[in-house]
Amino acid sequence: MNTILGNGSFINNHKVIELIRIGNIANTYLAKDQDSEEFVIIKQFACQSPDPQQVEKAQELFQREVKILRRLNHDQIPTLIDTFILHNQASFLVQQHIEGETYHECVFERQEEFTEFQVRQFLLDVLKVLIYVHFQGITHRDISPDNIMCRKQDKKPVLIDFGCSKQPINQLNSGSSSTRIFKPGYTPPEVQNGNPEYSSDLYSLAVTALVLLTGKRPEELFDLNTDEYKWSEITISAELQKILRKMLQVQINARYQTAKEVFAELKSLSSSSSSSIRTQQTLAHITSSSSAKNKRWKNRFLWLTPCFAVGLLIGVTRLIPVVFPPSAKMTTGFLYKNMTPEQTQINQLINSQQFSLAISQLEQYRQKNPRNDQAIIVLENTKIGSKKSIKIAVVAPISDDLDKAEEMIRGLAQAQWEVNAAGGINGLPMKIILVDDSQDQNTVKKIAQAVANNQDILGIIGHLSSDNSMAASDIYQKEKILMISPTATSTNLTGKGDYIKRTVVNDAIAGGTLARYVSQKLQKKSIAIFYNSQNNYSKSLRQSLINEYMIEKGKIAYEADFSDPNFRAGAMVGQAKTAGSDVIMLAADSSKLDKALQIMQANSKKLLLIGGNSLYINEHTLSIGCGDSQGMILAVPWNVKNHLNSPYVKTASNLFKAEVSWRSKMSYDALSAIISALKKTPNPTRQSLQETISKPDFSAPSGDEEVVKFDRQGDRIKPVELVTVTSKGDMCTFEPIEIR
């Protein structure tokens, strides 16, 4: 049994301030980092059971959750700072702390009342988080009011988990392959049976919503005689009741299957702006209400357990320089869904044209945050200040898909830094305008129009998805402003207009290369295709593969639609096998990656998996299901391991503290093409830029052995590269495949 650390003691350069909780598996401490002087949480593995088997099981659970936390790399998740072992026996983890109160305290201790609109907004906020968590292949399994907090700093909801510390140690069955966490009233039957599904979290969330709506505990709301909730005692609209009823179905198949489905239905319900204001006031009241000092001090950290510490900062107020029209969110400063106070202050300095002070703060910010790629762009922009410059807009899904947006921004930041360091373009520096994209197609068109209307902007790099690029391309072509997409691969974008180009390889090349490799090299002639019939990229990749596979005399043995409301991964994989498939093609767009992961898990390495560039995601994402994805073959535009000695990669490794991806490289190539064209165009205009870059003999350097060159229809002239997913310890990597 581990010794409890005393107040004032030191552990790996952290001073223990207070013991917060003694748990069955771990002890929780508030501590202070002696270098940064920031508060942290330290968890000490301390299983209280005398049974060696249960101690071993608890240790496995502790390490498993540490492993998951390490992989959850997201700005809306509390950071796992460090893990270490002392004296070869005591395990510790150090984690960022978050301050706030649980909704359980709000409802049952302070009798906070929630309106239907507030609960709808609460559900939307938490569902956004579950979409991300489920995409990682993780189910929470313990959602309830005491596992959701309202963060004091910005009044945003935070999903937390007391699973490990609350679970009785005798439930750690050493003979079981999974740990079961029960919470009466909130836990659906399949979780109690040890078979959690993604929809299990939706069940628990619906119960939580009923508790907030009524102020009553689950056992007070459920009628044991009828096995139904007492809906007559729950005053809500018929629309919301219908959604909650479906979330609460005992039969898994009768529930919503994904958080995205629930989110879409809730989003469609009408709401008023006045209700939104009342919601914000209520949430502010939740965290500002006073309570006893000691209780507040302890409760703010109580949620931090190694089982599943996921923080959610959903909803946002953007504090950015008001320089451009409000119809689109554009700025030369930082642009994030959740701005830090330091980022906000820098933006305010830029907005007030205090450039020298902003530069000083940005340089300090860069030293503290070397992985922040926007900081390089903001610093370059701020150095230019109000001086004349060449302006290029970058449209990226910063609010909706920050990881991929930052991959794009990383490549653009490098290209901007390089050209400005070399003296600019014909003596003029380049300024990049960051623009936040949307998932709504009508909004995408409005954003495109707002960007096109800004006559200072000479060209556009974006959008990330094929759907958005298609929606925006008509606007840009009509307004005669060059758009280069670094990431949109759909064949439908080919020939959209002489102002529309891309640096990424299109799906016809990717699908064809995959089909030939699988058929000729691997001699596999029967394939099952999983795709999304509602997505341009997915349909394009599917059709491109089919076209080439038919030429190779292959057979399409089975097809399934990710958007099928009756989608069941296990059953569909079984049908694919029965049909004689020896390959599964996952043509999943980013909105269906969670279902692609389900297919990987259901397949369990039985059939060969192949896919497109959407599955070339950061190692942390695939690593949750690393074993199931091992051996998968992907067609990608570029793989860093084929170009390690290139000037581009060497410069990137010095400039950033993160590995570059194909999205980074294709974005770099897009800006490189624009830079090269501008250098050949004195006093450039939108028209002269387009004319120069469209010449048959135009080419631009790309930082490696290749060049950027377009065909007559605006497509990149470039081969595709193949990679395979390989397990390296507990991580997945993408290893090159030689194509002959």
Active site residues: 142
Say if residue 740 is exposed, middle or buried (CB neighbours under 10 Å; 0-12, 13-18, 19+).
exposed
- Residues 672 and 702 sit within 8 Å (Cβ to Cβ): yes
- Residues 301 and 20 sit within 8 Å (Cβ to Cβ): yes
Q: Which residues contact 716 (CB under 8 A, 6 or more apart)?
A: 501, 502, 503, 504, 505, 506, 708, 709, 710
DSSP assignment letter at 23:
-
- Residues 264 and 252 sit within 8 Å (Cβ to Cβ): no
Question: Please, where are the H alpha helices in 215-354?
Answer: 218-221, 238-247, 259-268, 273-288, 293-299, 341-351
ω into 14 cis (within 30 of 0): no
The rounded distance, in Å, linking the Cα atoms of 554 and 516 is 10
Instruction: Tell me the three state secondary structure of residue 260.
Output: helix
- Residues 124 and 117 sit within 8 Å (Cβ to Cβ): no
- Residues 639 and 723 sit within 8 Å (Cβ to Cβ): yes
Could you tell me the sign of the dihedral formed by the alpha carbons of 262, 267, 271, 276, in that order? positive
Among 128, 176, 172, 170, residue whose Cα is nearest residue 148: 128
Instruction: Tell me the three state secondary structure of residue 402.
Output: helix
Q: Which residue has the tokens 């958007």?
A: 563
The rounded distance, in Å, linking the Cα atoms of 376 and 383 is 11
The rounded distance, in Å, linking the Cα atoms of 63 and 84 is 11
Among 203, 182, 285, residue whose Cα is nearest residue 251: 203
Say if residue 366 is exposed, middle or buried (CB neighbours under 10 Å; 0-12, 13-18, 19+).
middle
* Residue 474, token pair as written in the block: 């008509």
Residue 587: strand pairing partners: 531
- Residues 163 and 307 sit within 8 Å (Cβ to Cβ): yes
The rounded distance, in Å, linking the Cα atoms of 595 and 337 is 26
Q: Which residue has the tokens 């043509």?
A: 587
Q: Which amino acid is present at 712?
A: R
Residue 500: strand pairing partners: 483
Residue 428: strand pairing partners: 425
